[in-house]
């Protein structure tokens, strides 16, 4: 190794060790509560995601690449559940340099009219077990327990897994007099 490469070695080891710590952080397992979250959306409005909650939560988490898969999930899920579930979006913006944050907020505002919580450090997303480059879809019961988690594009198998978990969580939600199928209009 050259003297230049040797002088860079401690920096490389430090950066890699930081990455390993982030990737090895324990994400909440199924049947475990996620962290309570307070983040601002693209309009700089604070949003709180905490448990217990009034309704079942469908949480979508994505980075830039994974965000292309989120619309397929929302289109597949929202019509069957309407207002009976709380659909929340969380964006992993940890790779965005601080000087570009304003520009990114503006791009979000131009393309998305619904609020998306923005995680500028990526720490909150990693606490949910975020997998990069794909949509992360979580069903969280009103009690805060994660009932299901899938990754990637919406397909028949993954949608079935999520809708089954949603049906069970909605049926078990406090104040739900009867177990309604997602396709029954209240």
How far is it, in rounded angstroms, from Cα 181 to Cα 164? 10
Lowest pLDDT segment from 3-7, 47-51, 73-77, 152-156: 3-7
Mean pLDDT on 65-78: 96
CA gyration radius for the chain?
Answer: 19
Residue 30: the pLDDT is 63
135 pLDDT more than 90: yes
Residue 175: the pLDDT is 77
Residue 35: the pLDDT is 77
1-8 contacts at long range (C-beta below 8 A, 24 or more positions apart): none
178 pLDDT more than 60: no
Q: What is the mean pLDDT of the chain?
A: 83
Q: Which of the pair, 6 or 145, is modelled with greater confidence?
A: 145
Provide the whole-model pTM. Answer: 0.78
β-strand pairing of 85-92 with 56-62: parallel
Residue 180: the pLDDT is 42
HSE toward the beta carbon, residue 148, CA cutoff 13 A: 20
185 pLDDT more than 90: no
Here the tokens at position 46 are 């604070």
Lowest pLDDT segment from 26-30, 76-80, 165-169: 26-30
Mean pLDDT on 107-127: 96
Identify the sign of the CA torsion 62, 64, 69, 73. Answer: positive
- Return the axis-axis angle of helices 156-172 and 70-81, rounded to nearest 10°: 40
Q: Are 139 and 56 in contact (CB under 8 A)?
A: yes
Mean pLDDT on 55-59: 97
107 pLDDT more than 70: yes
What domains lie within the chain, and their CATH numbers? 27-172 (3.40.30.10)
Residue 142: the pLDDT is 95
| DSSP code at position 42 | T
In the chain, the largest separation of any two C-alpha atoms, in whole Å, equals 72
Neighbours of 17 (CB within 10 A): 10
> Nearest CA to 81 among 179, 184, 168?
184
Residue 34: the pLDDT is 74
Three-class secondary structure of residue 39 per DSSP: strand
Q: Are 66 and 135 in contact (CB under 8 A)?
A: yes
Residue 4: the pLDDT is 41
């Amino acid at each position: 190794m050259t003297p230049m490469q040797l002088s860079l070695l401690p920096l490389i080891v430090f950066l890699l060790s930081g990455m390993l710590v982030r990737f090895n952080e324990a994400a909440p397992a199924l049947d475990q509560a996620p962290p309570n979250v307070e983040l601002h959306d693209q309009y700089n409005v604070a949003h709180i995601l905490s448990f217990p909650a009034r309704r079942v939560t469908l949480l979508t988490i994505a980075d830039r690449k994974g965000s292309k898969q989120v619309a397929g999930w929302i289109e597949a899920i929202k019509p069957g559940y309407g207002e009976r579930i709380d659909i929340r979006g969380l964006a992993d913006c940890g790779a965005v340099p601080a000087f570009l944050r304003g520009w990114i907020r503006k791009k979000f505002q131009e393309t998305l009219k619904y609020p998306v919580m923005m995680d500028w450090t990526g720490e909150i997303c990693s606490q949910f077990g975020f997998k990069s480059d794909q949509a992360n879809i979580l069903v969280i019961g009103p009690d805060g327990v994660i009932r299901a988690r899938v990754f990637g594009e919406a397909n028949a198998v993954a949608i079935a897994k999520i809708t089954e978990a949603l049906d069970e969580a909605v049926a078990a939600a406090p104040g739900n007099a009867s177990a309604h199928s997602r396709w029954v209009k209240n």
